[in-house]
């Protein structure tokens, strides 16, 4: 197969033809010419227009061929368009706007950028980091415009730390399809309002359930902007608050009883926090010894295990009765961290019991958050939130890539 034929197979050339292909110092150079059988089309509206003049030749970088750089050279024409008025550069189907690389190369760079860091992709294709960033940006813009959002009925909201210093990004996930829906900088009330502004009132009306933690700014926005959806507090975040309370009891008891007790409690933190079936034989034996000492941490541990039964109920009424019973145990335990946790549940009891009407959780979200952290670690972090969010969309939102004739394998 001739190189001319390969270019025709991988570049949309209707209305154009390959004149010559020659080898230069920086690879293969294919000169394109207009095909006289086709009228030029306006670069703005895409309709047929009258030829006016020809601009100077432009070079467009194409997908490398067997490791050899390929450039397309073409002198674009300017046309007089009767439909949109004025003089415009003709439509070039292989490139978007004033880009210096073809759509096929954009898709190739963007595909590799889902697996490697942008710096590695730039080194692999002998281009600059900014070229890869531009290709990813173009792919993300196209994907966001062409993705299907008609079946989004359940969403999960969570924040992840972007870097040290409490710098956060708020992510909204589609729980049905398990991919990223939206991402915004910070974790403030204004951030989540930005999601609902983007999502629109019509789509918001179709939301059936919203799962998030008990972060009050999130709760206020969800109740105000999605009143028809059922707000469900994430089970995993509630358990996380409970384990923090148990660990605080352990810390307080060590502080009260001094150095001797600190030595007794050495290396026991995860014995109290782990699930019983995940304990090793040595940890299980150690737990049996500590349970004989009538410690405060043991009372907290028993409350933690008793709370596990709450999630096993099916009907909200029975769950509410058990929660009231557990609330009494916790508030009369003389353990301040457990009392604080119990009162937190009481303040949010109505939304907490929504779990039994719509048993959704952010378990999928936690897995996707781990993937987001891997993306950040793989690139050794991102300097700006814009680049980080752009890469999250590219790798986690399941966005369609621009359509090209070139097939990337």
The CATH number of whichever domain residue 209 belongs to comes to: 3.30.420.10
Q: In sequence order, what are the beta bridge partners of 339?
A: none
* Same domain for 16 and 93: yes
| Pairing state between β 230-233 and 58-65 | unpaired
Question: What is the dihedral sign for C-alpha 259, 261, 262, 264?
Answer: positive
Pair 160, 217 in one domain: yes
Q: Which of 56, 83, 100 is the last residue of a domain?
A: 100
Where in the sequence is the domain holding 294, given as residue range(s)? Answer: 236-356
Contacts (Cβ under 8 Å, ≥6 apart) of 54 = 75, 76, 77, 78
Evaluate whether residue 85 is within a structural domain: yes
Q: 103-113 vs 385-396: helix axis angle to the nearest 10?
A: 90
Residue 207: inside a domain: yes
Residue 362, burial from CB neighbour count under 10 angstroms (0-12, 13-18, 19+): buried
Helix (H/G/I), strand (E/B), else coil: 68: strand
The SS3 of residue 167 is strand
Asked if residue 346 and residue 240 are part of one domain, the reply reads yes
Same domain, residue pair 161 and 248 = no
Q: What is the pTM of this model?
A: 0.81
Return the pLDDT at 405. Answer: 58
Question: 69: buried, middle or exposed (CB in 10 Å: 19+, 13-18, 0-12)?
Answer: middle
Q: What is the pLDDT of residue 360?
A: 84
**What was the pLDDT predicted at 238?**
93
Residue bearing tokens 């109740």: 223
Q: Report the DSSP beta bridge partners of residue 53.
A: 78
- Contact criterion met (CB below 8 Å) for 135 and 408: no
In a domain, 59, yes or no: yes
Tell whether 20 and 70 lie within a shared domain. Answer: yes
Residues 230 and 372 in one domain: yes
Q: Report if residue 209 sits inside a domain.
A: yes
7-43: b or e for each residue (b if 16 or more CB lie within 10 Å)? Answer: bbebbbbebbebeebeeeeebbbbebebeeeeebbbb
Per-residue model confidence (pLDDT) at position 333: 94
Asked if residues 363 and 236 have their Cβ atoms less than 8 Å apart, the reply is yes
| Pair of tokens at residue 24 | 């230069």
For residue 201, tell me if it sits in a domain.
yes
pLDDT for the residue 409: 44
350 and 269, same structural domain? yes
C-alpha triplet 192, 193, 194: angle, nearest 5°: 85
Q: Are residues 315 and 221 in the same domain?
A: no
Residue 205's Cβ-count burial label (10 Å; 0-12, 13-18, 19+) is exposed
For residue 222, give both structure tokens.
Answer: 């969800």
- Tell me the H-state helices in 26-128: 103-113, 118-124
Instruction: Tell whether 78 and 185 lie within a shared domain.
Output: no
Q: Are 157 and 192 in contact (CB under 8 A)?
A: yes
Q: What is the pLDDT of residue 407?
A: 56
Residues 328 and 242 grouped into a single domain:
yes
Domain boundary among 100, 116, 142: 100
Do 192 and 339 lie in one domain? The reply is no
List of long-range contacts for 86-89, beta carbons under 8 Å, 24+ apart:
87/52, 88/42, 88/43, 88/44, 88/49, 89/43, 89/55
Q: Is 63 exposed, middle or buried (0-12, 13-18, 19+ CB in 10 A)?
A: buried
The answer as to whether 93 is a domain residue is yes
Task: Say if residue 240 is in the same domain as residue 252.
Answer: yes
134 within domain boundaries? no
Residue 219's nearest CA partner among 189, 252, 186 is: 189
- Each residue's pLDDT, cut to its tens digit, for the chain (409 residues) gives 477 777 777 787 888 888 888 888 888 888 999 888 888 888 888 888 888 898 999 999 888 887 788 889 999 999 998 888 889 998 888 888 788 888 888 888 999 998 888 889 999 888 888 889 889 999 999 999 999 888 899 999 988 887 776 788 899 999 988 899 999 988 889 999 999 999 999 999 999 999 988 888 999 999 999 999 999 998 888 999 999 999 999 999 999 888 888 888 888 899 999 998 999 999 999 989 888 888 999 999 999 999 999 999 999 999 999 999 999 999 999 999 999 999 999 999 988 999 998 888 877 777 888 888 887 777 666 778 888 888 899 999 999 987 765 554 4
Q: What's the residue count for the chain?
A: 409
Tell me if 215 is assigned to some domain: yes
Query: How many domains does the chain fold into?
Result: 3
């Amino acid at each position: 197969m001739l190189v001319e034929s390969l270019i025709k197979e991988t570049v949309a050339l209707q209305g154009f033809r390959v004149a010559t292909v020659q080898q230069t110092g920086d690879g293969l150079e294919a000169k394109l010419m207009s095909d006289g059988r086709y009228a030029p089309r306006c670069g703005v509206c895409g309709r047929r227009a009258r030829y006016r003049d020809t601009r100077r030749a432009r070079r467009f970088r194409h997908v490398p061929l067997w490791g050899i750089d390929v450039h397309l050279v073409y002198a674009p024409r300017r046309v007089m368009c009767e439909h949109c008025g004025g003089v415009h550069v003709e439509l070039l189907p292989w490139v978007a706007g004033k880009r210096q690389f073809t759509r096929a190369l954009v898709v190739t760079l963007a595909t590799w950028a889902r697996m490697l860091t942008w710096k590695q992709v730039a080194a692999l294709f002998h281009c600059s980091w900014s070229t890869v960033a531009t290709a990813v940006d173009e792919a993300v813009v196209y994907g966001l415009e062409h993705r299907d959002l008609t079946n989004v009925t359940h969403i999960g909201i969570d924040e992840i730390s972007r870097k040290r210093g409490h710098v956060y990004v708020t992510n909204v996930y589609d729980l049905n399809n398990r991919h990223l829906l939206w991402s915004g900088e910070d974790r403030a009330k204004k951030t989540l309002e930005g999601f609902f502004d983007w999502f629109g009132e019509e789509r918001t009306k179709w939301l059936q359930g919203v799962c998030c933690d008990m972060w009050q700014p999130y709760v206020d926005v969800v109740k105000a902007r999605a009143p028809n959806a059922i707000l469900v507090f994430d089970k995993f975040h509630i358990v996380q608050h409970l384990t923090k309370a148990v660990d605080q009891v352990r810390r307080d008891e060590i502080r009260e009883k001094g150095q001797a007790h600190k030595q007794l409690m050495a290396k026991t933190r995860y014995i109290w926090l782990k699930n019983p079936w995940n304990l090793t034989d040595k940890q299980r034996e150690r737990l049996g010894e500590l349970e004989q000492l009538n410690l405060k941490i043991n009372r907290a541990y028993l409350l933690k295990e008793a709370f596990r039964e709450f999630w096993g109920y099916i009907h909200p009424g029975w769950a509410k009765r058990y929660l009231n019973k557990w609330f009494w145990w916790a508030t009369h335990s003389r353990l301040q961290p457990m009392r604080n946790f119990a009162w937190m549940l009481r303040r949010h009891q109505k939304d907490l019991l929504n779990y039994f009407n719509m048993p959704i959780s952010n378990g999928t979200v936690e897995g996707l958050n781990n993937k987001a952290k891997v993306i950040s670690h793989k690139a050794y972090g991102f300097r700006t939130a814009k680049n980080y969010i752009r890469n999250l969309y590219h790798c986690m939102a399941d966005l369609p890539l621009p359509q090209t004739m070139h097939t990337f394998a």
